[in-house]
Chains A and B, each alone.
Chain A
Amino acid sequence: MSLRKYYAVARNAYRQATAYRLDAVTTLLSSVVFLELYYAVWSAIDASGTIEGGLGQVMTYLVAGQIVSNAAFLQTEQFIGYRVRKGTIVNELKRPLSLISHVYFHELGWVVFNSLTKALPVAVLGIIFFDIQPPGVFQSLYFLASTFLAFNLVFLLAYTNSMLVFWTKVDWSLRMMRNTVTNLFSGVLFPLYLLPGSLEGIFNVLPFRAMADAPIQIFTGQATGNHIVEIFGLQLAWLVVLFVLAHFAWRKAKTKLTVQGG
């Protein structure tokens, strides 16, 4: 019974999202611009030295990064922030759906939209313009599964981050900060397999690797067989950790909300 409600929320979000056709085009184009810029940068690096694995692999990695980050792009902070400012967040507490479920299915609708209109086209463009070798059938399936897990991780992070809205009311810069931090540590900006050994430690201890680098490695073919299993394991482990974190953050926020009287 309640599942139908969840489906309705997701479908509603999907419908709203398809109204934003211009938004899809601009995101797609900004990925293209991103890839053009870093193609130039990495080509210059390639000319000055030797890149471990070659320029082609770097580009494949970056394209895959764009696919994942476009698919999992979320504006949760704004979604919640808007409702906090308007005061309608209180209504969410009264509803039969829990807040986190409501937001989750809303974002799920967005993910479907984003994947089709922003992520998929990047893959196509990558193949055409950057000579990317797409992964095989099975590898692609694992990639999709891992990207889905990555979305869940990004969601939990964004949701936890959004809780700060109850204290600060500036949602836009919260999202920006999350994006900035995530982009660097997850591999969207810099191919993590090129990290010098001394830095590997920090990157591994943080959850961000699992949000992009994980599926990317599957896409590029750097991870095969058992390694893929390890990757799934890593993502699931972080899923648990972040879920607990999110739950804790929501509890704190809810206390503040009820103490303040909404």
Chain B
Amino acid sequence: MTGKSRTASADKIRCDACPVLCFIAEGRAGACDRYANQEGRLVRLDPLTILETSAGKGVRSVPFLGENGDADWDGDLLHSRRQFVTAIGAGTTYPDYKPAPFIVSQEIDGIDMVTVVTEGIFSYCGVKVKIDTDRHIGQERAVVRVDGEAIGHVMTSEYGSRMLSLGGVEHLTGGSKREGRVTCDAVLRLCNRDAVTMDIDEGAQVVVQAGKAPIIEGTAEKLMRVGCGSAAIGMFAAQWVDHADEVIVVDDHITGVLSEHQAGKLLGVKRTGIRVNGRRSTPGRYFQVAEPGTGWGGTNVQDPLAVLKDADPEYAWPGLRLLMVSTTGEQFAYFELDADLVPQPAPIPTALKASVERIAENCEPSFCSVLFMGGAGGSLRAGVTENPVRLTRSVRDALTYVSCGGAQAYVWPGGGITVMADVTEMPTNAFGYVPTPALVAPIEFTMRLADYRDLGGHMEDVRPLDTIQEGQVRRVRGFGPDPHDPGRYKWDGKP
């Protein structure tokens, strides 16, 4: 925004927003009706004009007459097997009383297809983050913070993974101004595949970056666990029985004890008197052998013996061979009981070492996945059709395929169009923001031209793909699924 002003007289100011240099009287607007004199100050009257909305993102701003070339617009044209125009850089029509910025048609195998692309402004949006780790990063429902501001929370853990729900309308617009700004920025960076450092209340500091290993308390995670401690016993019992009398698989979720476990029983493993802390669930399976943490198997244990009680002298014997291992095989220790039935470290037999390595080998690399999740509200849909609910129905009927920046979008059942998409399937820098604060995310609706007509589409705004000028687009190598694949549609290639 321009518009410095200097006082020309007591009640008039000179506006220098444009070459006209109007004198503007107190309480009046200049010739443009855009700038006014409010108590001697020059003020802008229409901060929400199309051009000013979100720093020129309101509509596609074309550079004026050789001014800085094509930097203003970087609409993506995603090459998969075919060309597919993504909404990245397409601009938005918020508040969507106008047709979407680009409605592009092209013939695919004899069928006229149309893709409606728009950069939607999402206040109801955020990311679901899956962090492949068993380490404790925080209690379920614990608040996740960036720069001290709450941006989300820890949600229900999944198999081998911790889950975060970040962003969303409550943090974007429901809290303080700073909370909204920090949340928007963090979610934007996550969506654009940048690293974000977050602190979980009474939990760990975690660095999350889509497609990269999480960094928990300064240490990069390497592997997902092969299974819970009990599952690990089941998987490896046969490889252990000849080389160890007892195996404890330390796991914050379920710690497995070979000799008590069904798998051990079936293999004829006899009772050892090795006893673990925690609460027994079923035979050979123990909950809460220690506190959650970033040590062995997602517990706070650094010394595995800390999870053991004294051995039961009635069953234990000197020389008893004990293997302790974590669910990823990254930590392991081998002991033999001395004459007092106290475990003493000993060199691990080769066969056991091999089994430990096999656990690690069977663990998948640990990653952070970031799924954008947002709802295409009533107004965004109006940019697609004059009758927004028909778009929802068309998506439900699998006549319309929804993608985000070319990435396949999972559409939630139920009302509205609530989608999830993997940000790593999208071209880089697919997301933007507006100061609301809200995220600007690409969303495309692809369907047959005939179906578009039927749902009340803006037919007069459909333009052929080849009319989009080469100089205006950024071409990106295709990755991810082809939105034009007929198999995606209910009509299945049979127009």
Co-assembled chains A and B: no
B residues contacting A by CB (< 8 A) are: none
